[in-house]
Chains A and B, each alone.
Chain A
Amino acid sequence: MAAPRTVRILREAKAGLDERGDVLVCLSPAAENSGIQIAIESTLKSLFGDQIRASVLGVIEGYGLKDLKLTVRDQGALDYAIRARVQTAIERALKEGE
C-alpha cells in the first residue's frame, strides 16, 4: 500500500467479481470537499455493514484519498478480499488517471 498522501480520484474504476465470496467495488470521482461517500449493498449488511465500512475506509485512508464515491456490492467476502478489491480499484483509478 502506498504511503499516506493527498490524492484525488479522477476516473472511475471497478474491481472484483460478481460471485459468491467476492465483492464488486466501483470507485468514482466526487466534488472537492464532498468527502468519502461509501454505499454498501450486502445481504449481511445489518451484521457486517460496519465492519465492511471500516475495512474499506482503512484502505482509502492508507492512500490519503479525500473525495470519492465508492459502492460495494458484497456477496459474503472475507475482510482480506474486500481490502484487496478496494486496493485494486484505487490502483486502477490512479493508474488510469495518469
Chain B
Amino acid sequence: MARLRRSRIYLPGNRPRMIQKGPLLGADAVILDLEDSVSPEQKDAARFLVTNAIKSLNFGETEVMVRINPLSTCGLEDLAAVLPAGPDAIVVPKSENREGVQTVEKAILQSNLSKRVAILPLIESAKGILNAYEIAGASTLVEAITFGGEDFTQDIGATRTREGREIFLGRSMLVIAAKAAGVQALDTVFSDFNDEEGLRNDTLAIKQMGFDGRAAIHPSQIEIIHDIYTPTDAEIRHAVNVIRASEIARGKGSGVAVVNGKMIDKPIIERAEKIIRIAERLDLPIPEPEE
C-alpha cells in the first residue's frame, strides 16, 4: 500500500527553528522547501541546512520531502545537494511534462542511494493539468501527483476564492489523471490558516473528490486535515461488516452481499478494504464483525 499522505506541511528550508519542529508536528510528511519560501540569495544556505537536517535530525515516521526549485532555474543544483542525504521524496514544482520527471528520475538513480526516493510532481499550470496523466506515468518513482492551486489560478488568469470554483476542474482532472495512472492525488494548501471552517469544508470537498490528502501551511491545519482523513469508528465498523458479508457471500458462491439493507459490490468492498488498511496503519481499534 502506498504511504499515508493525509497531510504534508511546508517548512521554509532556510529556517532552522521551523525545520527542527518538523518531526514534532504530527504531519504524515514534511516538505523542506527550497523554492518559494527561500529568497534567491539564500538558496545556497538553504541547501546546506536542509541537507544537514535530513542527515542529522530524527524524523521518525514522518516522511521527509524536499521541494526543489524548478528544473529551469536551479533545481538540478538542489538535487545534487540533497539527494546524497537520502530524502524520502522529491517534490518537483512547475511540472509540465514527462521529460522533467525523467530528468529527476535520472538524478535519483545516478545517486546510487540504497533507499527508494519517490517523485511527487507538483502540477500548477494549465499545461501541467493537460499533461497530468503523462506526468503521473512518466516514472515508476512517481507515487503521487500534487496540485498547486495558487500558481494554477494565476496561470489561467482566474481569481482565487474561498470556495475554489476556479480550481474545481483542474482538481478534478488531476484526480482522474492520478487514478488512471495508479498513483495518489494530493491537493493544494488552504491559504487562510485562520479560517478553520473554510479549511474543514474545503478538505471535506476534496476528500469526496478523490484526493488522498492535502498540504498544510500552518501546524494548526494538520489536526483538521487528519480529522477528516482519518476513518471514524462508524466507518471502520461498517467496513468490517462489508468485508465479512462479502466473505460470506463468496463462501456461498454468490457475488452479491447485503449490509444494512444495501447491496455490496466490488467498489464498495474495495473502499472498505482501503479504510481498514488506513485504520491498521494508524493503529486504530478494529472491531469484530457484527453477526
1/0 per residue, CB under 8 A from B, across A4-26: the answer is: 00000000000111011110000
Q: How distant is the Cα of A52 from the Cα of B166 in the complex, in angstroms?
A: 51
Stretch of B48-56, B212-220, B233-241 lying at the A interface: B48-56
Q: Which residues of A lie under 8 Å from residue B14 when comparing CB positions? A: 17
Q: Does A84 contact B (CB under 8 A)?
A: yes
Q: How distant is the Cα of A42 from the Cα of B193 in the complex, in angstroms?
A: 35
Cβ distance A54 to chain B, nearest Cβ, rounded Å: 15
1/0 per residue, CB under 8 A from A, across B53-75: the answer is: 10111000000000000000000
Interface residues on A, range: 10 to 19
Q: Is the CB of B45 within 8 A of A84?
A: yes
Q: Which residues of B lie under 8 Å from residue A92 when comparing CB positions? A: 44
Q: Is the CB of B16 within 8 A of A81?
A: yes
Q: A20-B17, A22-B16 are in contact. Are A80 and B44 (CB under 8 A)?
A: no
One of B17, B55, B57 near A21 (C-beta < 8 A): B17
Q: A85-B45, A88-B44, A91-B44 are in contact. Are A19 and B52 (CB under 8 A)?
A: no
Q: Is the CB of A77 within 8 A of B16?
A: yes
Q: Does A53 contact B (CB under 8 A)?
A: no
Q: Is the CB of A88 within 8 A of B15?
A: no
Q: Does A79 contact B (CB under 8 A)?
A: yes
Q: Which residues of B lie under 8 Å from residue A79 when comparing CB positions? A: 56
1/0 per residue, CB under 8 A from B, across A51-86: the answer is: 000000000000000000000000001111101110
Q: Is the CB of B45 within 8 A of A80?
A: no
Q: Does B20 contact A (CB under 8 A)?
A: yes
Residue on B nearest A83 in the bound complex, by CB: B52
Q: Is the CB of B15 within 8 A of A17?
A: yes
Q: A84-B51, A84-B52 are in contact. Are A78 and B16 (CB under 8 A)?
A: yes
Q: Which residues of A lie under 8 Å from residue B16 when comparing CB positions? A: 21-22, 77-78, 80-81, 84
List chain A positions with a Cβ less than 8 A from chain B.
Answer: 15-17, 19-22, 77-81, 83-85, 87-88, 91-92
